[in-house]
Amino acid sequence: MDFVDVALDSVWPAELRTDRLLLRPVTTEDASLVRELMTDERVRTYLGGPASLERVAARQAAYPATAGAWTVVRIADGRAVGLAGIGPDPRCKGRAEVSYQLLPSAWGSGLGREAVSAIVSWWTAAVPRGGPLVAVTQAANTRSRRLLESVGMVLVDQFDEHGARQCLYTPDGDEDDADLRWFRLVASRLDEVERRRGAQARATAAGQRLPEDLAALTPGELARLCPAHHGAYGRICAHAAGHTPALHLGRAPDGAWIAWLAGARGITPPPEPAGRAPGGRRG
């Protein structure tokens, strides 16, 4: 079982209170709220659109049995205005993800900010050193991004998921997110190291003659270069033909200096490193 599930089971059920809100575990009596949230076009604008009736029924049945799922209740009138929760992040084992959705009638008054802030504070206190905590929202969802930034979260990564650009946030200054930040830092450093190693190609006569625009090379010039992997991912090795090391050094289509290892017998190109697109560009 995932660490986040184990941690939640040890502290659940839990009720959270703020100045204006009560966050209580979801019950079967919240079925109408679940349906309203999951079928409202405004609420689902950045969540894939209104859910099917089958999906709604599945969530109505699952929520009451899910540790970390709260109904957001406005204390002033006792009305349930949304759902919020914390649970395992499906993208990364051991990482917790905060989620939230409010009815449009509750937008614009800071209730979402109040709920998310309460959950982040609760998780930090209830599960000391509980690992990285994140929240993910579409880059186009400016309202949600402002909410996360208003509670002290910072943008640490962007990626494509469900056909849209996503923004990954984590609490600023939280020691428990150190491994997340470190992972991202290492990934960027690996990219820099690869390009630095590739810059060694400038020391070769062939490399010095490589133009920024590789398409400008004549057939005769190409014939004098290492023929391995010509055209693979658009790369051209800058070493002279016949060099023996398995490490190839050269230019990508964008003009960046890169390095790559030859496969068996120098024919099969290696898979692209994670986070990189063909040709050395960042994905």
C-alpha 28/C-alpha 19 separation (Å) is: 26
Tokens of 268: 């099969």
Q: Where does the chain show beta strands of DSSP type E?
A: 16-17, 21-25, 69-74, 79-88, 96-102, 133-138, 153-161, 164-171, 236-237, 247-251, 257-261
Q: Which is higher by pLDDT, 110 or 233?
A: 110
Window from 39-43, 150-154, 267-271 with minimum mean pLDDT = 267-271
Whether 266 shows a pLDDT value over 50: the answer reads no
- Confidence at residue 90, expressed as pLDDT on a 0 to 100 scale: 85
Domain span at 121:
3-173
Q: Is the pLDDT of residue 138 over 90?
A: yes
pLDDT at 143 over 90: yes
* Residue 204 reports pLDDT greater than 90: no
At which of 140, 173, 206 does a domain end?
173
Q: What is the mean pLDDT of residues 130-156?
A: 89
Calpha distance 120→153 (Å, rounded): 10
Same domain, 12 and 44: yes
The three-point CA angle 136-94-176 to 5° equals 80
d(CA 81, CA 71): 8
Q: 112 and 21 in contact (C-beta within 8 Å)?
A: no
pTM: 0.63
Least reliable range by pLDDT among 169-183, 200-214, 248-262: 200-214
Residue 181, pLDDT score:
53
Residue 88 lies in a domain: yes
What is the arithmetic mean of pLDDT over 246-253?
A: 64
17 found inside a domain? yes
Who contacts 196 (Cβ-Cβ below 8 Å, separation ≥6)?
none
Nearest C-alpha neighbor of 249 from the set 191, 184, 204, 187:
204
Domain's final residue, options 133, 158, 173: 173
Check: CB of residue 129 under 8 Å from CB of residue 176. Answer: yes
3-state secondary structure of 118: helix
Q: What percent of the chain has pLDDT over 70?
A: 60
Greatest C-alpha distance within the chain = 81
Give residue 118's pLDDT.
96
Residues 166 and 204 in one domain: no
The mean per-residue pLDDT over the stretch 208-220 comes to: 62
Number of domains into which the chain is organized = 2
**β-bridge mates for residue 250, sequence order:** 237, 258
Output the pLDDT for position 268.
36
Three-class SS string for 152-165? CEEEEEEEEECCEE
In Å, how far are 66, 68, 275 from 28, measured between CA atoms? 12, 15, 42
Residue 101, pLDDT score: 96
Closest CA to 87 of 77, 100, 75, 97: 97
Q: What is the percentage of the chain residues whose pLDDT exceeds 90? A: 44
At residue 161 the predicted structure's pLDDT band, cuts being 50, 70 and 90, is confident
Interval 148-177 mean pLDDT: 81
Euclidean distance between CA atoms 196 and 198, whole angstroms: 5
Does pLDDT of 37 surpass 50?
Answer: yes
Residue 105 belongs to a domain with what CATH number? 3.40.630.30
Is there a single domain that holds both residue 136 and residue 245?
Answer: no
Q: Tell me the two tokens of residue 282.
A: 């960042």
Is the pLDDT at 95 greater than 60? The verdict is yes
Residue 240 structure tokens: 């002279």
